[in-house]
Each structure stands twice: as structure tokens, then as C-alpha cells.
Structure 1
Amino acid sequence: MSKLYSSIIAKYFDKSHKTRPRDVIIGRPDLNTIRYPKNVIRNQKYSIITFIPLCLYEQFSVFLNLYFLIIGLTQVIPMFRVGYFSIYWTPLAFVVFVSMLREGYEDIKRAYRDKEINSQRYTLLTENGRTEEILSSEIEVSDVIIVKKNQRVPADVLILQTLDKSGKHREQTSFIIVYSDADCTCFIRTDQLDGETDWKLRIATPMTQSLEDISILTSDKSQKVKIHSEPPCLNIHEFNGVISWKSDAPLSVENMLWSGTVIATGEVIGCVIYTGTDTRMVMNTNKPRYKFGLVDKEINRLTKLLFVASFVLSMLLVILKGVDGLWYRYFVRFLLIFSYMIPISLRVNLDLGKLAYSWFIQQDKNIPGSVVRTSTIPEELGRIGYILTDKTGTLTQNVMVFKRLKLGAVSYTIENKTKISNLLEEVYKKSGIAANKSQESLVTSTSTKRSIGKNTEAMKVTEAIKALALCHNVTPVLNDSAEIMNEFLSTSDTPKTSVTSLNTTTGSDVLELLPVIGELN
């Protein structure tokens, strides 16, 4: 009983873990002196207990439903009753039931999505130096886990080591450059956290990256590596901490993987610092709430106007009849009669229409993969007049299509690709470089510029195309079969580019930069 009591106190009342700096012993969750929140994602609005009361409250916060509830309650009093009791209560019950059914269905879908995330499996390094599979919901603070490529990071994790199969060498030849990742770096995708599609570079702390066997941190209990970090906070762009072992080393945001990000290259071994409600992602997420669209607000406003009109008409009719005796009885009855001015079926028709809109959006072949998470406001998309965004990729496809290249007084479009190819061929023929042979230099030599002319049209086009080909954020990615994936280009969303990816069996990443064959878009 005392254990149950202490767990309830720790869960609902003890919030000290949110305000104190955090001390974590790597690989030793048994040494945690504070009860940290479980690593469970929960986006549901309701529980079995709260569904009916909360949902009824939300439904009757809509003036249309509240109005008909008051009208229905007047029928409980015999002196105000007009017609059958069911005439007023049946439509209201049906409207509320349909709305609650929709809310329940959407909340069940949220629960399934949460269950899917919480059931994802990760590799845990145990105290005896072995590995075992563990569910995301079972991860604790100070656990050492392995997150593989394309896996979602389950908690806020400090990078201890990065593992990449792309090798440790770099070679360079004419037209061909071979890249590989640095030892202690990895790239992550943060689009689910901050909406940015560009990959972010993250670095392992050198103190642990240099270890040949990382399991020494968990298998040898005498090796207590301590991490001192700041309390949980909202800021995803800053992190302050210190890792202490044989010496002290500072930690920054570049050493951290926030929950909800995805590993884009290689594998990562990391120590869990924050879990559950302490993670940056959860702290930056607003609690689920009932959302009102502009249509709902307009209907609410019109309903109030109709109510005022029916109230005024009822009062006028009572005055004309004479304010004496049971005047309030006639007033309520007039109000009941004028209640038909407000159609209660309007609410049901709107809800069913919104469900239909949501279904059509998800079935639209022009926007595959679209998911409607809130079916109460799909009509809001039709009201959008302007989109204000700081960059491409947040609300767009992040695809930039070649339209025009202007060099001095001359403009080139996609229709001029044959001319561009001829100019490039002219330059490289004069420089003695064959288009299909590897040479020692990628850069056009100074002697070539002198022989052709620095300001000639051919030379200008060559330099411009070379700049287009080279100005990319290139991140090499190697799959299990040693084939280079197209995704390592930040501009790889476009199917055609002047930078072409090749396959290789040598474990290296190859980019064929030149010659450009006219595929500019």
C-alpha cells in the first residue's frame, strides 16, 4: 500500500525532476535517485473515465447545442410543455451522439498511433555488456541504446558513439569525387520536430567516441561515467551539460538527439537523458483540445443572432397579448415555437460533410500520404489566401525547378540545353579533357581559361554550370549492399540534376559531377 501511495505521489505531485539539474550515470538506471517519467507518448484527449464528461462539456460549449439543451429542459416542466417530449430531445440526442462518435473514433486513432510508437523496438546495452531488445515505452533515464538508420529517436539522447559503414577514406579524381563521413558525426532529420527538411549534423562526444569497446561503460561497474545536465526545458536549439570520467568535457546541442528526430546516416549509440514528458518534443507540444473552425464560429454567431431575434419576437407577442397573469408561460411557449428558426439538423449535416471532406483529402491521388488528424476543421483549407513561410520545405515540396539562367545580357532556358551542352563540350575539348575519361583535375585549368578566353560565352556557361553542380550539401549514405542512395543530396527531391549518384561496390560514395548533359531541371 505504501509503495502504491509513493508511486502516486511521485507521478502526480513530485515535480522536482523538472526543476533540478540532472545527474545521470551512464548505463546505471538503478542508481537514479529521482523517479523520472516513463518514456510513453500519449496524444489522446480522453480516457475511458473522462470521455463522456469532457466530450459533453465540449459539445455543449457550442451555443447551438446549448440552446437546444435549454429548450429541451423547459419541456421537463409541464406548464411549459409544447407537443411531445421527444420532439425536442431526440434531435438533440442524435446530434450530440454523432459528434461524440466522431470524437471517439478520432481519439481511438490517436491511441493506435501512440501504441505503434510506444511499441517500437530498440537495442539496449545491458550491464553485462550484452544487447537485448526493448520497447520504446520501457526505456529509462541513463539507459544506453542503439538507434539505427531511419529509426526514430525514442527519447532525448546524448551521442556516445556513431557507427557508419561508409569507411574512413576520401579519394579524388577528375570528374569523380569520393566522400565519406567523419568518424564521430551523423546526420539526423528534424522535420517532425521543427518542420525543417535539411539534415542536421550531430557529433559524438570525443571522450566516448574514442573507446574501442563502448560496452565497458555498462559492463564494468567501476567505470562510472557521469553526465551533469540542465533541467528539462523547451529550447531545442540549446543544451548545456558536462560529461565526467577521466576528465571533464562540455556538452552542447550538437551532442544531443532530441526525441522525434530520425537518424539519417549510420547508427548511433547514446545515453538517455530525458524521457516522456521531460523530452523537448513533448514539452513543445500543446495539449490536445477541441478545435473550432471559422465555420463553427460563424454558425455560433448566427445562432446567437437568431436567438436574440426569437427572444425579441416572443417578448413583443407577450406585450401585445398583455403582461398579466402567467405571462412568462406564454413567453416560454412563444420561444419554443420560434426555436424552429434555428435548424438543429444543421450541426449534423456539417459534421457529416466534414467527415466526407476528410475522406476525400486522404484519397486524393495528387497529395498521396496525406493524413487528416482533425476532422473538425478540414474546410479551413479552403479559406487560405496567403502562405507566409520562412523557407521552402515547410509547407511546400522543397523542389526547385530550373526556369532561367541569366549570364550578363544572355538568358538560357531549358529549351537551350543543346546549346549549353555544345558550349561545355567546346571548353573541355580545348582543355584536352575527354568527357568519358577520368583525369587528375576537376577544375578547369588556368591555361584553358587563357586559351579560350575568360569572358567568352562558353567559359561563362562552364563556370555557371560548374557552380550549380558543386553548390550542394552532400551527405554520403551507404545502404547494406554498398549502394549509394539518392537521398544523400539535399536537392534529391528533384528527379533530374546535374549531380548524378552512382553505385559502387568499394564501400565509397561517388558523385559524377561532369560532364553536364543538359539535364538542368
Structure 2
Amino acid sequence: MKLCGDKLIEEERRVIANNREYNEKFQYANNRIKTSKYNVITFLPINLFEQFQRVANAYFLFLLLLQLIPHISSLSWFTTIVPLVLVLTITAVKDATDDFFRYKSDNQVNNRSSQVLIDGKLQNEKWMNVRVGDVIKLENNQFVAADLLLLSSSEPHGLGYVETAELDGETNLKVRQALPVTSELGADMCRLAEFNGEIICEPPNNKLDKFTGTLFWNDKKYSLDNEKMLLRGCVLRNTEWCFGLVIFAGPDTKLMQNSGRTKFKRTSIDRLMNTLVLWVIRLGHSYFINWDRRMYYIKKNTSAEARTTTLNEELGQIEYIFSDKTGTLTQNIMIFNKCSINGKAYGDAYDELGHKIEISEKTLPVDFSFNALADPKFKFYDASLVEATKLGDSSVHEFFRLLSLCHTVMSEEKNEGELVYQAQSPDEGALVTAARNFGFVFRSRTPETITVNEMSQPVVYQLLAILDFNNVRKRMSVIVRNPEGQIRLYSKGADTILFERLHPSNEDLMCVTSDHLSEFAGEGLRTLVLAYKDLDEAYFNKWQIRHHNASTALENRDEQLSALYEEIEQDLMLLGATAVEDKLQEGVSDTIANLTLANIKVWVLTGDKQETAMNIGYSCNILTDDMNEIFIVSGYTVLEVREQLR
């Protein structure tokens, strides 16, 4: 830590497991949270200060002061002070009530019970008494008490499943995995109590999708990232138990770092009206919102709820709506629809005479009965792709082999042949399921291996490296060694990114695939390009050493890893492309049409190709045939976008 003025600024965090004495030297925050603004002493001065920020209140106070001077005003001060005090009192009561509910909520959270490992035994402690460096036990369906490093779990290979809806609104389960060296600790209290690893990591921050740290234990160091963290606000699911080490507590957790302080909110109406009538209207308005039957969602038995009376009238003054596409306008349920393999497009349905037909509910899907492990819910309508798979087409086999290997999906097999995939991204789930039905069945994975059934034959691949996807790279790669000892890199990502990294010999195939991608995008489908590369053993061994050094570096880790990824993901060989459908949610088109009639402008943010985005735009009525000219923002930098918007 360094001193900046009167405040200590944390540059990096050092934590030793099971050592409160060492960790307390750094004065890390405890696990108590506080979202309420006031206490008994500060309520009156802070609340009055906030209320007199309103122009009308300040005006009447100034008027009152003038009326107290006989030589200036002949009016009685009583005529001003009564309505002013009345307004201030009613507002103060409302603010105090809102803050009291925040205080009760804080108390409820702070007094939740957690199992903390102290002196080799699990003891029940309140959440607010949990400290950085404590090892705690979580059980299925429990909220995570603090930001934890996952040490071990009841699942094989130290896996854990969490729901992150409280953090990012996503309901699909995320997979977390402990380091192999700590997953061996299991539920052995003696070994967990003796665990004394030191973690050096980033200081508290609000980045939910990023964590950088290093574990030092038994004279070795291990890279730590976000995939090994359980964040406060998550819920443990489908995992009987797990143990975690507290890295950030209370206000230092990423959840609280994102929440900010409770602010004094003012609406545009406040700037015009500051009367008792306004508060009566607001109170009545909030009840009307709660009672509105048209805002009741039957499927989840949920009605609208006005959580504050302060901002209700703003709903009638909205001019712009900024929306995400995936999961907001669309269902976020991905379906493998079409693909392009070695220059040939698959996915359309044909009749007996070979004529293309429209796919409807009456159209018969392809028969996957040749595959005992096929997913019965999966539907595909182009029989020629199944025939190519059965005939052993090498390009088709390599295409689906890539889909079965290049992902982060976890597989559960509770009964023989009954596979359940846990995917962090619906896209990945759809692609792995497609590979499964076409005979390349992802069965299981460990930190070192991936097992795939290829046309009913089990094949175990050695997993050598995973080159993660992120919003900058826009691609993901894995490096595996097959049973014959050959090392191969498989990559999937955006066409604009992978096309730049193809070997020059792929130019003709790239042109054909690009045409297919344009067709798929024009139908509103989400596309990815697939490619591979064979690696030389000697080169890879040297690259792997540099990769390990970069992944455990304490400084500039991301930059070093990015450079290594960029180096090895060159001269790729193109395999083809996938096209996945994400249907619109029910009622989206009508809702947007009604918003347009109310003169509300809707902006949608999407990472799709331009053709896909425009197709979706027409499907949901954001774009219409009445629009004479469609303005496309095509800038690649902040300055370019700002200039075009002007």
C-alpha cells in the first residue's frame, strides 16, 4: 500500500491462508456491508443539506430569512415557515423510511451464517465476522459470502457451478474450477487447516469478468484467473459443497465495488415543482404501478414493483431506450441452423426431386438413430451432412472434431449415455450439441485431458493449452495432442479476425466461405469461423515454457499472454463456418412498434455482423421499409464513432 494524502491506496493484495495475524497487518476491510446513507446522528444535517439543494426549498428558506427582518418585509414569517416545515418533514419521513429498509436489508445480509474453518474445525460465524484469509465452506444453493478463491469441491476435478444473476443478470450456470493442486485438499479439515499458500493479486476493483493473481505454495507458483473465483452475490448450484479462501471482503468485493454510494436523486419534475402535491402524486403513482395487471408476468408470478417514489414520473419522460440484443430482444436459446464446410453450405431442406423447400413444423428432421448418444431434442434438416459424416469425409470430421474440442463446456453423465452439458455461453452449448449429434460426442474433461467419442470410438486428447476468448481477441483456441502424438491448434472466432490469420493458400476457400457467411448473416444468424494449425513439437515446447512464465507473471500478464497468443495463432488452415439462430422473444416486435408510436427512440447494441444486425432490426421493427435512408455507424475507434454521430 502507498499513502496518497490521508488515504492508503492498495497497489496489490497479499493474503496468506489461515493466518489472520498476518492478514490483519494490512487493515483489509471486514465483511460488513453498509448501503444505508444515514445514522441517528447524521440523519438531520445530511437530509436537510440534501433537501436544500432543491431550488424551491432554498428559495423559501431565503424568503423566510428576509421575512424575519421587519424593515424588509411586512409579511409574517409564519406564512412561509409552516408550508416549508411541512414539506421538509414529509420528505424527511419518506427518506428515513427508505433508508430504514436499506438498514434492515444490510442487517439481514450481515447476520447470515457462514461456516468458517478456525483451529481445524468448522464454526458458524456471521457474514460480517468473516475475514480476508479465512477458509469457508459453502453448500448447495447458498449465497457466496465474499470473493473467494475456489480451493476444492464435491465435484470431480474441483469443479463448481454458480449462478451469477445477481451480478450480471444471466441465469445460465457458470463453471468454476479449482487448481488441481488445491482440489486434492478435498474436504479434509486437517489438510485445509494446514494450507498456508500465499496469494498475490490485483487490488479491489469493479471488473466482474477479470481477476489476475498468483498462488505461491510449496516453492511453486500457480496462475490464478477469474475462472477460479467465486464472487459475492453468486449462488452455488448443482454442487454439494465447496471450500474457498476469502480474497476480498465486504466493501472490497466486486459486487460492492460496482454498487457505489446511495445517491440523492432528483428528477426533471423536481426542478419545476417542489410542493407537497408532488409527493402525494408520487405515492399514488407508485401504488398504481404495483396494481397494474398489464405489468404482471404470469409465468413467474411476478408483478411490477415501485421500489422508490423518487423517480416514478421519469417513466413518462423517456426519450431513448438503450438495449442489448442477446437475451433482451432475443431468447438467448441458440440453435445450430446451418454451416459451411470446405466450401460447401449445409442446412437447407430439399424434397425428393432436389428442390429447396421452406422448413416448417411439418418438415421431417434428419434421422440420427445411427448415433446412440445423439440428443433427441436436436433437429437438423439437411441429410447430405449426415451422409458426408457417415462416409468419412475428412473435412467434415475435422469440422466436428474442432467443435467437440474447442470450448469450455462441462459434461455431466448421471446415467449411461444421458449427457447434460453445462455451458457458460449458449453458443458453445449449441455447437457442442451439434458435434454430438453428428457423431463427435464430447464425453468428459479433466484439467489435462478431453475425451471424445468419434463415430462411436472413444478418443482421449491431451489438453495442452486454452487460449481464452475475450472481447478484444474475439476468438478462442485450444492446443491438444491426439493419441498419435500430433499437436494441433483449433480455433474459432469472428470472421474478420480469423480471416486475417489464415495461410495464403486458403484464399479461394476464404472467398467461398465469405459468401456463405453473408448469406447466413442476411438470414439473421450468428456466425463463427473455424480453423486449425499443426504445430511442431520443438517449437511448441519452447512456446509452452514462455506461456507458463507469462501466465504467472505479476506485472503485464495480459499483455504478455496476448503477444504469445498472437504469435501462435498465425497461418491457420480454414475449415468452415457455423451459423446459429437466436429467435426473438415473444412480443418484442409489437413492443418496439408501440415505443416508436410514442416517439421513443430505441438503440440496440450488438456484436453481430452488420447483415445480421440489420436483419434482426427489420424483424423486431427497429428498422422498417418506410425508412428512406439507414444510417450506419462504421467507425472502429471512439473518435471515428463520435465524428460519425455528429
Larger Rg, first or second structure (1 or 2): 1
Task: Name 1:158's counterpart in structure 2.
Answer: 149
Letter matched to residue 94 of structure 1: L
Task: Name 2:55's counterpart in structure 1.
Answer: 63
Query: In the aligned structure 2, how far is the partner of 1:206 from the partner of 1:270?
Result: 14
Give the TM-score, by structure 1 length.
0.63
Aligned counterpart in structure 2 of residue 111 of structure 1, from 100, 103, 106: 103
Aligned counterpart in structure 2 of residue 390 of structure 1, from 324, 339, 354: 324
C-alpha distance 115-370 of structure 1, shift in aligned 2 (>3 A): farther
Aligned counterpart in structure 1 of residue 200 of structure 2, from 206, 217, 228: 228
Task: Name 2:130's counterpart in structure 1.
Answer: 139
C-alpha distance 273-101 of structure 1, shift in aligned 2 (>3 A): same
Task: Name 1:123's counterpart in structure 2.
Answer: 115
Task: State the Cα deviation string for residues 20-63 of structure 1 (Å, max 9, x = none).
Answer: 43222212223322222121111111121111111111111111
After superposition, residues 30-45 of structure 1 pair within 5 angstroms as: 30-32=21-23, 33-45=25-37
Task: State the Cα deviation string for residues 327-382 of structure 1 (Å, max 9, x = none).
Answer: xxxxxxxxxxxxxxxxxxx6211112222222333444515264434321112222
1:217–1:224 CA contact under 8 A, matched in 2 = no
Query: In the aligned structure 2, how far is the partner of 1:373 from the partner of 1:451?
Result: 54
1:206 aligns with 2:140: no
Query: In the aligned structure 1, how far is the partner of 2:423 from the partner of 2:112?
Result: 25
2:135–2:243 CA contact under 8 A, matched in 1 = yes
Deviation at 1:216, TM superposition (A): 2.7
After superposition, residues 236-385 of structure 1 pair within 5 angstroms as: 236-246=208-218, 247-266=220-239, 267-297=241-271, 299=272, 347-365=275-293, 366-367=296-297, 368=302, 370-385=304-319
Structure having the larger proportion of residues in strand: 2
Letter matched to residue 282 of structure 2: K
Query: In the aligned structure 2, how far is the partner of 1:195 from the partner of 1:36?
Result: 29
Task: State the Cα deviation string for residues 408-440 of structure 1 (Å, max 9, x = none).
Answer: 76445xxx53x23xx24xx64xx878xxxx956
Matched positions, count: 380
2:116–2:124 CA contact under 8 A, matched in 1 = yes
Aligned counterpart in structure 1 of residue 166 of structure 2, from 148, 167, 192: 192
Task: State the Cα deviation string for residues 112-163 of structure 1 (Å, max 9, x = none).
Answer: 11111111111112222x2121111110011111122332222111110122
Deviation at 1:238, TM superposition (A): 2.4
1:477–1:488 CA contact under 8 A, matched in 2 = no
Letter matched to residue 227 of structure 2: E
C-alpha distance 268-364 of structure 1, shift in aligned 2 (>3 A): farther
Query: In the aligned structure 1, how far is the partner of 2:196 from the partner of 2:313?
Result: 57
Letter matched to residue 137 of structure 1: M
Give the TM-score, by structure 2 length.
0.51
Task: Name 1:8's counterpart in structure 2.
Answer: none
Deviation at 1:477, TM superposition (A): 8.7
2:32–2:128 CA contact under 8 A, matched in 1 = yes
C-alpha distance 148-71 of structure 1, shift in aligned 2 (>3 A): same
C-alpha distance 349-399 of structure 1, shift in aligned 2 (>3 A): farther
C-alpha distance 477-152 of structure 1, shift in aligned 2 (>3 A): farther
Runs of at least 5 residues in structure 2 that lack an aligned partner in the other structure = 339-346, 350-355, 389-403, 427-432, 435-442, 444-584, 587-646
Query: In the aligned structure 2, how far is the partner of 1:63 from the partner of 1:451?
Result: 71
Query: In the aligned structure 2, how far is the partner of 1:203 from the partner of 1:370?
Result: 38
Letter matched to residue 185 of structure 1: L
Higher RCO, 1 or 2 (CA under 8 Å, sep at least 6)?
Answer: 1
Runs of at least 5 residues in structure 1 that lack an aligned partner in the other structure = 1-12, 165-181, 301-345, 455-469, 492-497, 500-507, 509-519
1:152–1:262 CA contact under 8 A, matched in 2 = yes
User: Structure 1 residues 102-111 or 279-288, which shifts more?
Assistant: 279-288
